Amino acid sequence: MMLVVGARPQIIKSAPIIREALKHSAVELQLVHTGQHYDYEMSKVFFDELDLPDPVVNLGVGSGSHGWQTGEMLIRVEKAVLRFKPDVVLVPGDTNSTLAGALAAVKLHVPVGHVEAGARSYDMGMPEEVNRRLTDHCSRFLFTVSDNCTNNLLKEGIEKERIFQVGDTMYDAFLQHSPRALKRDVLKRFGLEPDSYVVLTVHRPSNVEDPANLKNIVDAVSQLNETMVFPAHPRTMERLRQSGLIKNLEKTGNVKLIDPVSYHEMLKLTADARLVLTDSGGLQKEAFWLHTPCFTLREHTEWMETVEYGANVLVGNNKKMIVQKATECLAADDTKNKIKGVFNPFGDGKASVKMINSSLFDKSVIT
Ligand code: UD1
């Protein structure tokens, strides 16, 4: 079995699958890293912290335009598939590495397993929506995390025999790591007190590539005047510098702009925050599991369950909306308790066990 990863969130959602696969002597795991993320704090730190084996190969693709990056990965993953001859190729998530891995395999007639299949934001302007739709439609095994995701696939005419609702491997990772993560001493490092700060993350092209949208978010943050910790994606940091908006953030005096943090550190920062402002997909769910209210800096989300349950509010990059909704939440004192009582639709924490024990390795099903 080959597992293709490349970007930060894919490493996290693959960790429980890797651990489970290593327990089964019948499963020969070939972990391939495309090299989409290459900075220590965007990739290697997760292998170290999550105690993962090194990939058998790093394809070293790196950054570039979407077409170039996906094309280059396609060429290099194809070579890896020809070299390692896997029975099946697993691709987690919705990044360019996901799509390239799926395309390389399916074109060589190797069955594809898509981890986190069926997620839909219904916003084709997001590169991730394009990646996940195309990946789903060329996959043999579609591993979904929730009823919503399963229903999305059925609506698109995908046969139910291809769909395996196993739950969310991110939830598996969360359960496996939160006991250790929540003991981390990270608040002290950034001079934060529990329940008295906001976590902010922004990295979507729609928010950072358009200076007007980035300015709306920076203005909202300045107006909110709350202590904030802002682990910035390298591209976001670059855009803040280029646009000069970094000075506006510095002027507020209460925004701690820091380098990207590790998985454990992020869980701890999120657990102790009053609220989260983010455009990340994964962080919306992690905030939900940690009972921290989330305000999503997007117009759409693939995790509508969290919105329907009142744990997440879509505020886009509309300054007025961000300030108004976050202020209301900060004034209320029972929001965390309300989220605590909510049903978790993302499985039972055994998604990776079910996945590895599924018919994935049954040759009669594969062929
Ligand atoms: C990718 C995923 C996104 C995911 C995110 C997590 C796609 C289309 N998007 O977005 O779904 O939420 O990863 O972070 O695959 N850069 C560095 N160092 C790195 C990696 C990137 O400096 O290690 C910078 C480069 O300037 C690069 C930019 O970040 O051009 C964007 O990186 P890229 O891999 O294209 O996409 P992400 O925005 O990280």
Sign of the CA dihedral 325, 330, 332, 338?
positive
Euclidean distance between CA atoms 173 and 206, whole angstroms: 28
Binning pLDDT at 50, 70 and 90, where does residue 367 land? very low
Residue 361 has pLDDT above 80, yes or no: no
Q: What is the CATH number of domain 185-340?
A: 3.40.50.2000
- Residue 248's pLDDT is 95
233, 237, 263, 286, best to mutate for ligand 1 pocket (most atoms within 8 Å of CB): 233
Please indicate whether residue 291, judged by its CB atom, sits closer than 6 Å to ligand 1. Answer: no
Cα 54-58-61 angle, rounded to 5 deg: 150
Which tokens is 284 given?
């919306």
pLDDT tens figures, 284-331: 999 999 999 999 999 999 999 999 999 999 999 999 999 999 999 999
Q: Is 8 in the pocket of ligand 1 (CB under 6 A)?
A: yes
Catalytic annotation, pick one of 33, 37, 114, 203? 203
pLDDT in tens, 163-219: 999 999 999 999 999 999 999 999 999 999 999 999 999 999 999 999 999 999 999
- The rounded distance, in Å, linking the Cα atoms of 242 and 367 is 52
Copy the structure tokens of residue 247: 């000075």
Q: Is 309 in the pocket of ligand 1 (CB under 6 A)?
A: no
Cα gap 332→58, rounded to integer Å: 48
- Residue 241 CB neighbours (<10 A): 11
Q: Residue ranges per domain, the chain?
A: 2-168+347-366, 185-340
Centroid of ligand 1 to alpha carbon of 265 (angstroms):
20
| Ligand 1 lined by 64 (C-beta under 6 Å) | no
Atom 12 (ligand 1) nearest CA: 280
Domains 2-168+347-366 and 185-340 share a fold: yes
Ligand 1 atom showing the smallest separation from residue 94 Cα: 11
Condensed to tens digits (0 to 9), the pLDDT of residues 77-109 reads 999 999 999 999 999 999 999 999 999 999 999
Average pLDDT of span 263-287: 98
- Is the CB of 204 within 6 Å of ligand 1? no
Q: Sort residue 210 into left (φ over 0), alpha (ψ -120 to 50) or beta.
A: beta
- Angstrom CA distances, 104 to 73, 277, 292, 293, 307, stand at 9, 36, 39, 39, 35
Report the pLDDT value the prediction gives residue 211, as an integer from 0 to 100.
95
CA dihedral 211, 213, 214, 216 (to 10 degrees): 120
137 is catalytic: no
The pLDDT score that the predictor gives to residue 335 is 83
* 332 CA to centre of own chain: 28
CATH superfamily of 2-168+347-366: Glycogen Phosphorylase B; (3.40.50.2000)
CA distance 257 to 20: 36
Phi-psi region of 112 (alpha: psi -120 to 50; beta: other; left: phi over 0): beta
Q: What is the 3-state secondary structure (H, E, C) of the chain?
A: CEEEECCHHHHHHHHHHHHHHHHCCCCCCEEEECCCCCCHHHCHHHHHHCCCCCCCEECCCCCCCHHHHHHHHHHHHHHHHHHHCCCCEEEECCCHHHHHHHHHHHHCCCCEEEEEECCCCCCCCCHHHHHHHHHHHCCCEEEECCHHHHHHHHHCCCCHHHEEECCCHHHHHHHHHHHHHCCCCHHHHCCCCCCCCEEEECCCHHHHCCHHHHHHHHHHHHHHCCCEEEECCHHHHHHHHHHCHHHHHHHHCCEEEECCCCHHHHHHHHHCCCEEEECCHHHHHHHHHCCCCEEECCCCCCCHHHHHCCCEEECCCCHHHHHHHHHHHHHCCCHHHHHHCCCCCCCCCCHHHHHHCCHHHCHHHHC
Residue nearest to atom 9 of ligand 1 (CA): 95
How many Å lie between the centroid of ligand 1 and the Cα of residue 37? Answer: 6
Cβ–ligand 1 contact at 9 (below 6 Å): yes
Closest CA to 77 of 56, 94, 93, 63: 56
Our mutation pick for probing the ligand 1 site, out of 44, 63, 73, counting the most ligand atoms within 8 A of Cβ, is 63
Q: pTM, whole model, 2 decimals?
A: 0.96
Mean confidence (pLDDT) of the chain: 95
